[in-house]
């Protein structure tokens, strides 16, 4: 656990191997405010950090529960007032993971290290966003979780305590396709999990964004046809039903930003910094363009994302 045996008094050794004194590593820039144990001048290894997390955790009231096994993370929120029982199952990423794309970096007093939920959003029963896990952090001998509740945009920190008796059931599936052969509901793959029949995923809109920050960040959103009244919105790993009434304003956006003129912009050069792509079903094929060819695609991308993600959830 102690990787500081060869350091001089007042120095620490970063995980990259550099010996230094102060708050920032001069080699990699990693900050050690709140990570260095001043009494022993030690820095926890990634193995030490992972070992500390391998427990069941609960808030004092029991309304927030977490289990971590390996890198698998399950989280459960129980709202006793409105009888909600909301759950997600995902994995956690250390802040050094190359897939890490979160931008929430608020540092707490006494914080030793942090991890992030790979799938951070917790959906409500109707498929709408309930809250998001911004960060899990370890400090003062226990685990804490920073949460953003979407209603009212309220941020809060919940202190947790070890409870290895906690067992969190897998989350209920709230959205998916219906098998045309056996009728199995909430299927999420192109093959039925019950009978193996093919399930068509008919894409109406496909939006994507790539940003060349450090590290690079990418996101995607798709809208699928489900039936005459409902569509399936797939936002990253998260799916929910939305009403088909959003299609008319969506196609109005396509015309407003001249995405339907996509063939006229084939020869324009790309732009630096990343791009947004907008594709839509024109009645015959999935067509579209990106900011590599027309700046209008950026406006259409944000307008469509706002339209689809703000649509009210629909239950089957």
pLDDT for 88-114, tens place per residue? Answer: 888 888 877 766 655 677 888 889 999
| Confidence band for 15, pLDDT divided at 50, 70 and 90 | low
Report the chain's terminal Cα–Cα distance, integer Å.
52
Region of poorest pLDDT, from 8-17, 99-108, 158-167: 8-17
What does the pLDDT read at residue 98?
Answer: 66
| Confidence band for 11, pLDDT divided at 50, 70 and 90 | low
Residue 240 has pLDDT above 70, yes or no: yes
What does the pLDDT read at residue 96?
Answer: 74
Residue 41 has pLDDT above 50, yes or no: no
**pLDDT higher at 248 or 12:** 248
Average pLDDT of the chain, as a whole number: 81
Is pTM beyond 0.85? Reply is: no
What does the pLDDT read at residue 72?
Answer: 92
**pLDDT higher at 249 or 85:** 249
pLDDT tens for 199-226 read 999 999 999 988 776 556 678 899 999 9
What does the pLDDT read at residue 50?
Answer: 93
pLDDT tens for 131-157 read 889 999 999 999 999 999 887 788 999
Mean pLDDT of 156-182: 89
| Confidence band for 31, pLDDT divided at 50, 70 and 90 | low
Residue 298 has pLDDT above 50, yes or no: yes
Residue 26 has pLDDT above 70, yes or no: no
> In the chain, pLDDT over 70 holds for what percent of residues?
76
For the ranges 171-175, 197-201, 240-244, 260-264, the maximum mean pLDDT occurs at 197-201
Region of poorest pLDDT, from 47-51, 131-135, 235-239, 285-289: 235-239
What does the pLDDT read at residue 3?
Answer: 30
What does the pLDDT read at residue 38?
Answer: 39
Mean pLDDT of 299-311: 90
Residue 27 has pLDDT above 70, yes or no: no
Residue 124 has pLDDT above 70, yes or no: yes
| Confidence band for 244, pLDDT divided at 50, 70 and 90 | very high
Residue 294 has pLDDT above 60, yes or no: yes
Is the Cα torsion angle 15, 19, 25, 28 positive or negative in sign? negative
């Amino acid at each position: 656990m102690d990787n500081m045996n060869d350091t001089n008094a007042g120095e620490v050794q970063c995980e990259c191997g550099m010996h230094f004194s102060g708050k920032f590593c001069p080699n990699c820039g990693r900050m050690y405010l709140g990570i260095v144990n001043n009494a022993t001048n030690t820095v926890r290894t990634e193995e030490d950090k992972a070992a500390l997390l391998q427990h069941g955790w609960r808030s004092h009231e029991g309304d927030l529960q977490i289990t971590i096994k390996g890198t698998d993370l399950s989280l459960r929120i129980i709202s006793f007032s409105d009888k909600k029982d909301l759950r997600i199952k995902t994995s956690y990423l250390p802040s050094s993971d190359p897939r890490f794309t979160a931008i929430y970096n608020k540092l707490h007093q006494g914080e030793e290290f942090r991890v992030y939920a790979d799938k951070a959003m917790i959906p409500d029963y109707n498929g709408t966003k309930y809250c998001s896990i911004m960060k899990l952090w370890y400090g003062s001998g226990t685990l804490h979780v920073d949460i953003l509740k979407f209603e009212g945009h309220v941020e809060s920190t919940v202190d947790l305590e070890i409870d290895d008796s906690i067992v969190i059931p897998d989350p209920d599936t709230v959205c998916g396709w219906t098998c045309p052969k056996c009728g199995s509901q909430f299927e999420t793959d192109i093959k039925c999990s019950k009978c193996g029949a093919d399930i068509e995923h008919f894409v109406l809109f496909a939006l994507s964004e790539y940003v060349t920050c450090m590290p690079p960040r990418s996101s995607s959103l798709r809208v699928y046809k489900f039936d005459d009244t409902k569509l399936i919105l797939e936002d990253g790993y998260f799916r929910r039903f939305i009403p088909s009434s959003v299609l008319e304003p969506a196609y109005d956006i396509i015309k407003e930003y001249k995405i339907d003129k996509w063939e006229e912009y084939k020869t324009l050069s790309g732009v630096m910094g990343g791009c947004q792509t907008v594709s839509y079903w024109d009645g015959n094929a999935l067509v579209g363009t990106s900011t590599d060819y027309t700046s209008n695609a950026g406006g259409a991308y944000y307008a469509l994302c706002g339209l689809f993600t703000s649509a009210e959830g629909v239950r089957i």
